[in-house]
C-alpha cells in the first residue's frame, strides 16, 4: 500500500449500516476478463461491435481488458485484502455455450468454478450475474433479444450454470440493466448490437423480461439460495414545473423505470405506455398470455444500480426517427445541474437523489418491493497514477456522499441489505473503451499491473469499521 490509512478520514465519519449489511465490489465479464478467444469461448455481440470501426473510443475492445481470466487469483487477493463480504461478477454466456445453445463447454464452466472456489477460500460470498450484455453472436444472428427464442436459450444456459455452481454461489442475478440491453442496444444503437429500431427495441425489452422469468424458474429448480434481477433505475427530475416538462418526466419514467418495475413488481404493463410509445406499443404480437405471471414471480431481492439523477425537459419530437422515440422520445434532454460537481462521465453528483429514488420506489410498491441490494454505485474520475499512488479524493467524496444517502434511505424504511461498489478494477467502459476509470484499483493497460487507489483503502477502512 502506498498510502497510510491515517491519511484518510476517520472511521467515526463513515456512514454506518445495520449488522449483517453486505459490503461488496462488482465487475462484469466482458469488461475485465480478456481471453476473448481462449478455451472455446465464442464471439459475443460485444466482440463484433467493438471490432467494428468507429463504434468504441479509439477502437478499444475487450480482447485483453484486465486479463482477469488469467490473473483472477491476484484479483481475489485484492478482494480478500479489501475485506468485502461478497463479490459480484458476471458469467460470459459465450464461454459456457459458444453459440448460445447445446452442450456446455467444460473449460468455460471450469473457469468460473475455479473463481468461485477461490472466492470461498478467501471467505468471500460469490454473487453471479448471468447476463451482463455479452450475448452469443450466433443468437443475435437469429434475431437476438427481438425474438423469444433468445429468452428460451437463456433459460437453458441458466440451468447449466446453476446446476454446476448453484451449491456454491448463494446470490444470483438474472439480468444486469436490461434497459441498456434493450434500448442502448436496439434503439439508440450506442451499445451492441448497435441496432436503431422502434418496435424491435420494445420487443427486445419484452423478451428480456421473459428471459428473466424463465431464468428465475431455472434458478428455483436448481434450488439456489437467492435470486433476483438488477435494474438501473433513474431518478428523473423535471427541469421546470411546466406541464410539458412534467409530461416529459412521465414518459421518461415509463421508458426507464416502469417498463421494468411494473411487470416485475406489480404484474402489469405501465398504464402510461400508450402515451409514451403510441402506435409502437399498441397491437404488438410479442406479448403472450401468461407472460406477466412468469415475469412477476417473487424475487428474493431487487438489485439496483444507481449513479446520478437525470434532469428531464420537453424537447422537440422527431417523428421521423422511431428508434430514438422508443428510448428517449427526443422530448427530454439532460440539462445542467448548476453548482454541482460532475464525474469524468459528466454525471452530476447529487447523493440526495439516491435517497429520493429509493424512498419513492418503496412508496410506489410498498411491501411488493423485495429487499434491495445496491448492485452498483461508484464514479469514474480523472485519476492520475503518480509514484505508485492514485489520490482519488473525488471518488472518495462521491462514495461517502452516496453511502450516507443510502443510509438515509434505510432510516426512511427502505429494506436495503447490501452495497456493491462499482468497480473493483478500472475496466472496459463499453463504447467509451478504457477512457473512463471506475475502479478503486488502478489498472495499467500496458503492463496490467494493479495499483490500489486511495478509495480502496478508504473502503477497506469503512468495511473494517463495521466489523468492530
Ligand atoms: O460499467 C457500467 C456497468 O457495466 C453497468 N452499469 C454502469 C457501469 C458504469 O457505466
- Counting atoms of ligand 1 from 1, which one is nearest the CA of 305? 6
Quick: pLDDT tens for 375-433: 999 999 999 999 999 999 999 999 999 999 999 999 999 999 999 999 999 999 999 99
How confident is the model at residue 317, as a pLDDT? Answer: 56
Residue 426 Cβ < 6 Å to ligand 1: no
**pLDDT band at residue 331 under the 50/70/90 scheme:** low
Site to probe by mutation for ligand 1, drawn from 129, 438, 439, 443 as the one with most ligand atoms within 8 Å of Cβ, is 438
Q: What is the mean pLDDT of the segment spanning 94-113?
A: 98
Query: Which ranges constitute the DSSP H helices of 88-198?
Result: 93-96, 106-121, 137-141, 148-165, 178-179
Distances (CA, A) of 445 to 25, 60, 94, 243: 21, 11, 24, 49
- Counting atoms of ligand 1 from 1, which one is nearest the CA of 380? 9
Residue ID of nearest Cα to ligand 1 atom 1: 429
Residue ID of nearest Cα to ligand 1 atom 10: 429
Whether the Cβ atoms of residue 158 and residue 174 lie closer than 8 Å to each other: yes
Q: What is the mean pLDDT of the segment spanning 292-321?
A: 87
Query: Which ranges constitute the DSSP H helices of 222-265?
Result: 243-253, 259-261
Helix (H, G, I), strand (E, B) or coil at 34: coil
Least confident of 24-38, 214-228, 322-336: 322-336
Q: What is the mean pLDDT of the segment spanning 223-240?
A: 95
Residue 28 Cβ < 6 Å to ligand 1: yes
Site to probe by mutation for ligand 1, drawn from 28, 32, 230 as the one with most ligand atoms within 8 Å of Cβ, is 28
CA distance 393 to 454: 7
Residue 305 Cβ < 6 Å to ligand 1: yes
CA distance 203 to 135: 16
Residues assigned a catalytic role = 177, 376
**pLDDT band at residue 7 under the 50/70/90 scheme:** very low
Residue 177 Cβ < 6 Å to ligand 1: yes
**pLDDT band at residue 239 under the 50/70/90 scheme:** confident
Q: Residue 219: left if φ>0, alpha if ψ -120 to 50, beta else—which one?
A: alpha
For residue 129, the CA-to-ligand 1 centroid distance in Å is 13
Residue ID of nearest Cα to ligand 1 atom 9: 429
Helix (H, G, I), strand (E, B) or coil at 386: strand
Query: What's this model's pTM, rounded to 2 decimal places?
Result: 0.96
- Counting atoms of ligand 1 from 1, which one is nearest the CA of 430? 1
Q: What is the mean pLDDT of the segment spanning 195-216?
A: 97
- Counting atoms of ligand 1 from 1, which one is nearest the CA of 176? 5
Long-range contacts (CB closer than 8 Å, 24 or more residues apart) made by 34-39:
34/62, 34/63, 34/64, 34/65, 34/66, 34/67, 34/68, 34/69, 34/70, 35/67, 35/69, 35/70, 36/61, 36/62, 36/63, 36/64, 38/69, 39/95, 39/105, 39/107, 39/108, 39/111
Domain that holds residue 223: 5-467
Q: Residue 179 CB: number of other CB atoms within 10 A?
A: 22
Helix (H, G, I), strand (E, B) or coil at 416: strand
Mean per-residue pLDDT of the chain? 94
Residue ID of nearest Cα to ligand 1 atom 2: 429
Residue 134 Cβ < 6 Å to ligand 1: no
For residue 394, the CA-to-ligand 1 centroid distance in Å is 18
How confident is the model at residue 244, as a pLDDT? Answer: 87
Please give the full DSSP string across 346-358, using - where no structure is assigned. Answer: --B--THHHHHHH
Residue 50 Cβ < 6 Å to ligand 1: no
Q: Which residues make Cβ contacts (< 8 Å) with residue 74, sequence separation at least 6?
A: 450
Q: What is the mean pLDDT of the segment spanning 248-274?
A: 96
CA atoms within 13 A of residue 409's CA, in its CB half-sphere: 29
Q: How many domains does the chain have?
A: 1
Domain at 372, CATH number = 3.20.20.80
For residue 429, the CA-to-ligand 1 centroid distance in Å is 7
For residue 378, the CA-to-ligand 1 centroid distance in Å is 9
For residue 420, the CA-to-ligand 1 centroid distance in Å is 12
Query: Which ranges constitute the DSSP H helices of 183-229?
Result: 199-221
For residue 243, the CA-to-ligand 1 centroid distance in Å is 33
For residue 421, the CA-to-ligand 1 centroid distance in Å is 11
Residue 422 Cβ < 6 Å to ligand 1: yes
Q: Residue 463 CB: number of other CB atoms within 10 A?
A: 18
Quick: pLDDT tens for 126-179: 999 999 999 999 999 999 999 999 999 999 999 999 999 999 999 999 999 999
For residue 289, the CA-to-ligand 1 centroid distance in Å is 33
CA distance 38 to 34: 9
Residue 67 Cβ < 6 Å to ligand 1: no
**pLDDT band at residue 32 under the 50/70/90 scheme:** very high
Whether the Cβ atoms of residue 124 and residue 86 lie closer than 8 Å to each other: yes
Amino acid at each position: 500500500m502506498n498510502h497510510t490509512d491515517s491519511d484518510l478520514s476517520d472511521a467515526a465519519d463513515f456512514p454506518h449500516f445495520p449488522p449483517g449489511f453486505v459490503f461488496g465490489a462488482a465487475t462484469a465479464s466482458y469488461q475485465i476478463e480478456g481471453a476473448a478467444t481462449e478455451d472455446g469461448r465464442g464471439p459475443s455481440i460485444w466482440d463484433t461491435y467493438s471490432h467494428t470501426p468507429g463504434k468504441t473510443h479509439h477502437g478499444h475492445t475487450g480482447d485483453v481488458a484486465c486479463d482477469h481470466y488469467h490473473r483472477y487469483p491476484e484479483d481475489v487477493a485484492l478482494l480478500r485484502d479489501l475485506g468485502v463480504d461478497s463479490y459480484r461478477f458476471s458469467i460470459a454466456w459465450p464461454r459456457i455455450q459458444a453459440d448460445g445453445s447445446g452442450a456446455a463447454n467444460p473449460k468455460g464452466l471450469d473457469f468460473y468454478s475455479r473463481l468461485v472456489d477461490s472466492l470461498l477460500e478467501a471467505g468471500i460470498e460469490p454473487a453471479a450475474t448471468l447476463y451482463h450484455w455479452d450475448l452469443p453472436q450466433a443468437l443475435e444472428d437469429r434475431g437476438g433479444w427481438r425474438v423469444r427464442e433468445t429468452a428460451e436459450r437463456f433459460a437453458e444456459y441458466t440451468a447449466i450454470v446453476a446446476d454446476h455452481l448453484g451449491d456454491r454461489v448463494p446470490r444470483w442475478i438474472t439480468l444486469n440493466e436490461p434497459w441498456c440491453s434493450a434500448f442502448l442496444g436496439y434503439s439508440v444503437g450506442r451499445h451492441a448490437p448497435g441496432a436503431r429500431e422502434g418496435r424491435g427495441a420494445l420487443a427486445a425489452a419484452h423478451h428480456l423480461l421473459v428471459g428473466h422469468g424463465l431464468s428465475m424458474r431455472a434458478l428455483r429448480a436448481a434450488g439456489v439460495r437467492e435470486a433476483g434481477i438488477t435494474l438501473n433505475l433513474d431518478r428523473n427530475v423535471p427541469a421546470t414545473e411546466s406541464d410539458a416538462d412534467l409530461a416529459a418526466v412521465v414518459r421518461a419514467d415509463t421508458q426507464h423505470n416502469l417498463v421494468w418495475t411494473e411487470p416485475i413488481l406489480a404484474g402489469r404493463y405501465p398504464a402510461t405506455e400508450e402515451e409514451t410509445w403510441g402506435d409502437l406499443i399498441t397491437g404488438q404480437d410479442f406479448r403472450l398470455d401468461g407472460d406477466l405471471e412468469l415475469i412477476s414471480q417473487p424475487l428474493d431481492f431487487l438489485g439496483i444500480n444507481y449513479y446520478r439523477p437525470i434532469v428531464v425537459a420537453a424537447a422537440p419530437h422527431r417523428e421521423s426517427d422511431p428508434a430514438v422515440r422508443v428510448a428517449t422520445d427526443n422530448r427530454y434532454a439532460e440539462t445542467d445541474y448548476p453548482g454541482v460537481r460532475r464525474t469524468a462521465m459528466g454525471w452530476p453528483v447529487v447523493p440526495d437523489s439516491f435517497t429520493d429514488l429509493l424512498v419513492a420506489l418503496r412508496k410506489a410498491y410498498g411491501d411488493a418491493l423485495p429487499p434491495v441490494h445496491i448492485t452498483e454505485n461508484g464514479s469514474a474520475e480523472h485519476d492520475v497514477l503518480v509514484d505508485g499512488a492514485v489520490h482519488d479524493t473525488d471518488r472518495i467524496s462521491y462514495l461517502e456522499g452516496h453511502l450516507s444517502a443510502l443510509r438515509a434511505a434505510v432510516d426512511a424504511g427502505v429494506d436495503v441489505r447490501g452495497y456493491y461498489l462499482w468497480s473493483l478494477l478500472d475496466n472496459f467502459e463499453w463504447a467509451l473503451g478504457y477512457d473512463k476509470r471506475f475502479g478503486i484499483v488502478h489498472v495499467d493497460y500496458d503492463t496490467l499491473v494493479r495499483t490500489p487507489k486511495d478509495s480502496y483503502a478508504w473502503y477497506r477502512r469503512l468495511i473494517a469499521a463495521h466489523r468492530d
